Amino acid sequence: MKMDKRPQSVLIIGSGVFGLTTADALSKRPGFEKTSITVVDDTHGTGRFPPTDSASVDSSRIVRADYSDPAYSALAAEAQNHWRQQGDDQLGGQGRYAETGFVLTANDTGKWADGQKTGLDYVRGSWKNVVGATEAAGLSKDKIRVLDSKEALQRELKTAGYPGDWGYVNEYSGWADAGRSMEWLYAQVKAKGVVNFVDAKVHELVTEGRKVIGAKLKDGKLLRADWVMVAAGAWCSDLIDLRGRVEATGHVLGYLEITDKEQEAFAKRPVVLNLTTGLFIITPCNNILKIARHGYGYLNPEVITTALPVSPDHKKEPIVASRPCTARDDASNAMPYEADRLFRRGLRDLIPGEGIELRPWKGARVCWYSDTKDADWLVDWHGGGWENLFIATGDSGHAFKFLPVLGDKIVDVMLGKGGELGQKWRWKEIEDQSVGRVVDGKFRGLITEDGSRGGRPGMILKEEFARLPPKL
């Protein structure tokens, strides 16, 4: 679907990395000078866009071009050129970005019977891509080194644990302070005075015939627009039936306090990620060490009554879909037992420090991805027949790093000029209609199959919380 005629108004639902970067890009794009741009999000009266439980708000996120997919690797390398600009008024400045290096590793577990990619497949493909990109850029290949055994990984990471069987270090990657980076972006957009921000909860989309004409707020007010963009991340399931295409999955983050001496010793350590377990540790900052898991995630199936049906030809009715459960739902200061046990093992395997894995947690959080089967995002006009409805979601846990370039790519897709990326992000048909639905009394979750996930799929958040999580 190509939209040649510029709209008089655009409504963007969600102020996370997809929504806020799109608002920024539209405000700069020739042809949209007379377009009214509105961003609506529920900040609970704080006026902080995005809200603190948004996936794009955290102490740290990995910034890397280390992808097994060449398209994302190239896009991430483009984004890194912006992250490396570190003047005080630039994105990477004032400590928002640090290039401390990145160790990507995996365990040799053999092949999946169904041919699904393994973590080791992903790591090897990623290494090949970053080496090729480094050569093409004329950069030194000495900063990308293969670590071809458990022992080589142990020496690099200075740990006696089991960090993996094969991997590499890329000194051109690093991490960003996600929360402060989103604050910077919001300040940039707000300062132009072009984008209108509305602090409110969207209840449902409003339609006339086959057209989506706006959004109804919780207080009953209607926000109308020529184009409506849903960029609500894991909350998209509240507004649109995306079952089988996109699914909300929860991923635990754990935080530990470290000493001044440990902070000094760890400050220049690389980020490390094992794609078989999904465990990763980002270079600590301000005496806080963060460990997390890029896994299949927890599911939280609930009845939803507000979702727009998959097409105008379908009746609107209640559906069951996974949706977020965050600090707003009293789920912030807890960690399921299985995550606690795995994280403590990961601390032994991935970072030096005697007894660090025995310390109490300073805090914990469940971060919500919007996952897709192939880990490609869903950035496209609605493919089921709803007009004027654009969707930008399906982050699959790897969108934040593209912040400097993402909005422009999304607007290109809006205008039918998405090219290769537009093809990757298109609305796709569902192969298995049982995915994302209740089958024989059990919710059958979507599984991301690109080789980047660790742990076990299908865990239900409330069941895991019920297994007596340790007190923090």
Detail the DSSP E strand segments found in 231-267.
Answer: 247-257
389-393 vs 227-230, strand pairing mode: parallel
Detail the DSSP E strand segments found in 190-278.
Answer: 195-199, 202-208, 211-217, 222-224, 227-230, 247-257, 271-274
Please identify which residue in the block is written with the tokens 């660790």: 454
Coil, helix or strand at residue 83: helix
166-170 vs 195-199, strand pairing mode: unpaired
CA atoms within 13 A on the CB side of 458: 7
Long-range pairs of 68-72 with CB within 8 A, sequence gap ≥ 24? 68/117, 68/121, 68/122, 68/123, 68/124, 68/125, 68/126, 68/129, 68/450, 68/451, 68/452, 69/125, 69/129, 69/450, 70/129, 71/420, 71/421, 71/424, 72/398
Cα–Cα–Cα angle for 410, 414, 416, rounded to 5 degrees: 115
Phi–psi pair at 264, nearest 5 degrees: -65, -40
Phi–psi pair at 229, nearest 5 degrees: -110, 125
Segment holding 241, helix H or strand E: none
Residue 406's contacts (CB-CB under 8 Å, 6 or more residues apart) are: 17, 18, 21, 22, 79, 399
Phi–psi pair at 218, nearest 5 degrees: -60, -30
Q: What is the pLDDT of residue 326?
A: 85
Q: Tell me the pLDDT of the chain (472 aa) as tens digits.
A: 556 689 999 999 999 999 999 999 999 999 999 999 999 999 988 899 999 999 999 999 999 999 999 999 999 999 999 999 999 999 999 999 999 999 999 999 877 656 678 999 999 999 999 999 999 888 898 999 999 999 999 999 999 999 999 999 999 999 999 999 999 999 999 999 999 999 999 999 999 999 999 999 999 999 999 999 999 999 999 999 999 999 999 999 999 999 999 999 999 999 999 999 999 999 999 999 999 999 999 999 999 999 999 999 999 999 999 999 987 766 545 789 999 999 999 999 999 988 999 999 999 999 999 999 999 999 999 999 999 999 999 999 999 999 999 999 999 999 999 999 999 999 999 999 999 999 999 999 999 999 999 888 999 999 998 886 555 5
Q: Which amino acid is at 167?
A: G
Is 141:127 a contact under the CB 8 Å cutoff? no
Q: What is the pLDDT of residue 231?
A: 98
DSSP 282: E
Q: Dig out the tokens for 70 from the structure.
A: 């060449």
Distance, in Å, from the CA atom of 383 to the CA atom of 386, rounded to the nearest integer, reads: 7
Phi–psi pair at 343, nearest 5 degrees: -60, -40
Residue 334's contacts (CB-CB under 8 Å, 6 or more residues apart) are: 364, 465, 469, 472
Q: How many residues does the chain have?
A: 472
Q: Over the Cα atoms of the chain, what is R_g?
A: 22
Alpha-carbon dihedral 347, 349, 353, 358, rounded to 10 degrees: 40
Distance, in Å, from the CA atom of 197 to the CA atom of 49, rounded to the nearest integer, reads: 8
Cα 174 to Cα 145, 269, 310: the distances in Å are: 15, 10, 40
Q: What is the pLDDT of residue 200?
A: 97
Longest dimension (CA), the chain: 64
Q: Which amino acid is at 135?
A: E
Cα–Cα–Cα angle for 425, 427, 433, rounded to 5 degrees: 125
